[in-house]
Chain A
Amino acid sequence: MINLTIVRLTLRGLFGRRRFLLLLPLPALIVGLALLAESLGATPPDWGQPVLVGLGFAAVLPVLALIVGASVLGSEIDDGTAVHLLAKPLPRREIVLSKLLVAFVVTAVVVGAGMLLAGLIAGSAELALGLLAGTAVGALAYTALFLALSLLTRRPVLVGLAYILVWEGLLTNLLTGTRVLSIQQYAISVADRVSGTDLFTGALSPQVSLLMAAGVAVVATALAVDRLRSFALTGDTS
């Protein structure tokens, strides 16, 4: 199911890109702001919601997942190196799952580390653990969605940003019914339930969140696999 050669190649490609390395400080921002707030005498109930949810779950997690998810396969298709991988007798499922594993682990580890530290700064190991769990759930659904987008559209980053900003940022705040279709809400709800915190409240039950996150990941991955099976080389037709 998972191909270690693909995993290795993807990791090297990912960390060899400046665009990606520039994003690494993003989770540090969460930690920095938490430290700053604490040093200024603010208490976790003051800074918890804006830093952990407003910055962490609503911005850093989806943006990092977007860049990673859309580039693990998308950038190879853009620069033409994907043929090297696709002209091999590998089931397309194996390619997509290996790429998804890398995107998920990288996103969960990088963002999760920031969230974990921020939780510890707030003085609660349960909160830290909850934030990590929420990040992991969100990372899986987000990266699967954005990986699929990189195969379904030529402008995955644009479409992904529209989803993050318009759907999750705007519509779910205006129309509460749409929250059941928001990955951000799955992450927040799981974090809320695991930590038992009162710093923020999830809008969905943890069962629904987990089920929906898993559903998004499975459907997006199935779409990506099917799309990759029909991958066509375009370009000049000389």
Chain B
Amino acid sequence: MTTVELSGVSRWYGNVVAVNDVTMSLGPGVTGLLGPNGAGKTTLLHMMAGFLAPSRGTVTVDGAPVWRHPAIYRTLGLITEREAVPGFLTGAEFVLSSARLHKLPDPVAAARQAVEMVDLGDAQHRRVGTYSKGMKQRIRVAAALVHDPAVLLLDEPFNGMDPRQRLHMMEVLHQLGETGRTVLFSSHILEEVAQLSGTVQVIVAGRLAASGDYRTIRRLMTHRPHVFTIHSSDDRRLAVALLAKEPVVGVELDPAAGLTVRTSDYGTFTRALPAVAVAERIRVTRVLPADESLESVFSYLVAS
């Protein structure tokens, strides 16, 4: 059982703080590192992988620091987002070179097994330069898994994959988690994280915004106040009628922008709105959820 520990980790570039005082502990199983673009996920992953020194704090794998400690790669596999694959090698050669660089006792068998795991047996003797983006991603996974690492870190692993490849990759990661490996993958897509991992670490603007079971965080997200912008034949009357309803916590009238409604419960409100409109004989011409972007979900989590 291998644990990755981050303790008070910060990283700044000049005046810009990329990661701010993050403390977390990752154990066996699949963990999703979720956050909007630019939140600091990659910086955090690079620090966990020993490819960036924390400005403050420590990152350890089973108690051993990762920075300036290459021996850690015996237990750690890494797939960065932008790492390129030497195009002049075939897929099989690439994975085999990885096995040889790890000085495995039987590199040929290990490479064969890793290639089979990512289902690239048919294409393994083609040059990597001819691979599609998804295939390149898979051969990189094979190379990162060839030494059977206890910890696997993946930065946006599903980028560039088609749905079938995505599903297959999810199965691979799931299986690794089930068999006791510590798997951490980053993503800015909520659904990917929801499908793959029970545990999430949400990072927003460099800070750890939420951490723990996905369902708890999902509930927090669903129960946050929602804002709708509504256009109707009579905004003022609709505002009065809506205020009488339980889930509505605030309304705002703006002759130009229409009616802004704040509600504490998304589902109840969206069911109540048509009923109110019909009862009041008001024609609703437009309903826009105003804060549905992932960023707003994240910033709500930070504030809560």
Binding site for B on A (CB under 8 A): 3, 5-6, 9, 12-13, 16, 79-81, 83-92, 229-233, 235-238
Assess A237 versus B40: contact at CB under 8 Å? Given A5-B101, A83-B80, A84-B143. yes
Contact with A along B72-90 (1 / 0, CB 8 A): 1110111011111110110
**Known contacts A84-B83, A89-B72; A12/B89 CB under 8 A:** yes
Return the contact of A232 from the options B38, B46, B72, B94 (Cβ within 8 A). B46
Contact of A81 among B38, B46, B86 (CB under 8 A): B86
Choose among A81, A89, A92 the residue with the greatest number of B CB atoms under 10 Å from its CB: A89
Binding stretch for chain A, among B49-57, B257-265, B290-298: B49-57
Closest 10 CB pairs of A and B: A80-B84, A233-B51, A5-B100, A83-B83, A88-B101, A16-B88, A89-B73, A89-B74, A237-B43, A87-B78
Further contacts, 5 of them, CB under 8 A, given A12-B89, A88-B102 = A3-B101, A9-B86, A83-B51, A84-B85, A237-B13
Are A13 and B80 neighbours in the complex by a CB distance under 8 Å? no
Knowing A9-B86, A80-B84, A238-B38 are in contact, say whether A229-B68 is a contact too (CB < 8 A).
yes
Instruction: Determine if A233 and B13 form an interchain contact, defined as CB atoms under 8 angstroms apart.
Output: no
Nearest B-chain residue to A78, judged by Cβ: B84
Q: Enumerate chain B residues within 8 angstroms of A84, measured Cβ to Cβ.
A: 83, 85-86, 94, 97-98, 143
B157 to chain A, nearest CB (A): 14
The secondary-structure label for the interface of chain A is: loop
Once the chains are docked, how many angstroms separate the CA of A16 from the CA of B89? 10
A218: min CB distance to chain B, Å? 21
Between A and B, how many residue pairs show CB distances below 8 Å? 90
- The answer to whether B58 has its CB under 8 Å from any CB of chain A is no
What's the Cα separation between A231 and B83 when bound, in Å? 14
Please state if A13 and B88 are interface contacts (CB–CB under 8 Å): yes
In contact, A237 and B42 (Cβ under 8 angstroms): yes
Give the chain A neighbours of B78 by CB distance below 8 A. 83, 87
How many chain B residues sit at the interface, stated as a range, is 35 or more
> Is the beta-carbon distance between A81 and B84 smaller than 8 angstroms?
yes
Complex interface: chain B residues within 8 A of A88 (CB): 70, 73, 98, 101-102
Bound Cα distance from A202 to B188, whole angstroms:
64
Chain B neighbourhood of A12, CB < 8 A: 86, 88-89
Question: Which residues of A are found within 8 Å of B52, using beta-carbon distances?
Answer: 232-233
Q: Which of B2-59 contact A (CB under 8 A)?
A: 13, 18, 37-43, 46, 49, 51-53
Contact B13 A87 (CB under 8 A): no
Measured CB to CB, the nearest residue on chain B to A232 is B52
Per-residue interface assignment for chain B, residues 133 to 158, with 1 indicating a CB less than 8 Å from any chain A CB and 0 otherwise: 00000000001100000000000000
User: Which B residues fall within an 8 A CB radius of A?
Assistant: 13, 18, 37-43, 46, 49, 51-53, 68, 70-74, 76-78, 80-86, 88-89, 94, 97-98, 100-103, 143-144, 188
Closest to B81 in A: A238
Q: Note all chain A residues with C-beta closer than 8 A to B74.
A: 89
Structural contact, B53 and A232, CB atoms closer than 8 A: yes
Most chain A CB within a 10 A radius of its CB, from B72, B77, B83: B83
Q: Is the CB of B80 within 8 A of A85?
A: no
When chains A and B are docked, how far (Å) is the Cα of A6 from the Cα of B102? 11
| Least Cβ–Cβ distance between B298 and chain A, in angstroms | 13
With both chains docked as a complex, state the minimum distance between the C-beta of B99 and any C-beta of chain A, in angstroms.
Answer: 9
- Interface pair B39/A238, CB less than 8 Å apart: yes
CB <8 Å contact, B38 and A6: no
Give Cα A46–Cα B51 distance, bound, in whole angstroms: 56
Instruction: Write the chain B residue with the least CB distance to A87.
Output: B78
Instruction: Give min CB distance, B137 to chain A, whole Å.
Output: 14
Q: Known: A12-B89, A13-B86, A233-B52. Contact between A87 and B73, CB under 8 A?
A: yes
21 pairs of residues in contact across A and B, judged by CB atoms under 8 Å = A5-B97, A9-B97, A13-B86, A16-B88, A79-B84, A84-B143, A86-B70, A87-B77, A88-B73, A88-B101, A88-B102, A89-B74, A91-B70, A229-B68, A229-B70, A232-B46, A233-B46, A233-B51, A236-B42, A237-B13, A237-B42
Among B18, B53, B89, B100, contact of A237 (Cβ-Cβ < 8 Å): B18
**What's the Cα separation between A5 and B96 when bound, in Å?**
10
Q: Do residues A238 and B102 form an inter-chain contact, with CB atoms below 8 A?
A: no
A92 near B70 (CB under 8 angstroms)? Answer: yes
- Nearest chain A CB to B146's CB is how many angstroms away? 10
Nearest residue (CB) in B for A85 is B101
A211 vs B98: C-alpha distance in the bound complex, in angstroms? 38
Nearest-CB distance from A5 to chain B (Å)?
A: 4
Q: Which residues of B contact A238 (CB under 8 A)?
A: 37-42, 81, 188
Q: How far is the CB of B41 from chain A (nearest CB, A)?
A: 6
User: Which residues of the other chain, A, contact B144 by a CB distance below 8 angstroms?
Assistant: 87
Residues of B within 8 A of A89 (CB): 70-74, 102-103
Report B-chain residues with C-beta under 8 Å of the C-beta of A237: 13, 18, 38, 40, 42-43
Q: Quote the shortest CB–CB distance from A12 to chain B (angstroms).
A: 6
Q: Are B85 and A81 in contact (CB under 8 A)?
A: yes
Q: B49, A87: Cβ atoms under 8 Å? A: yes
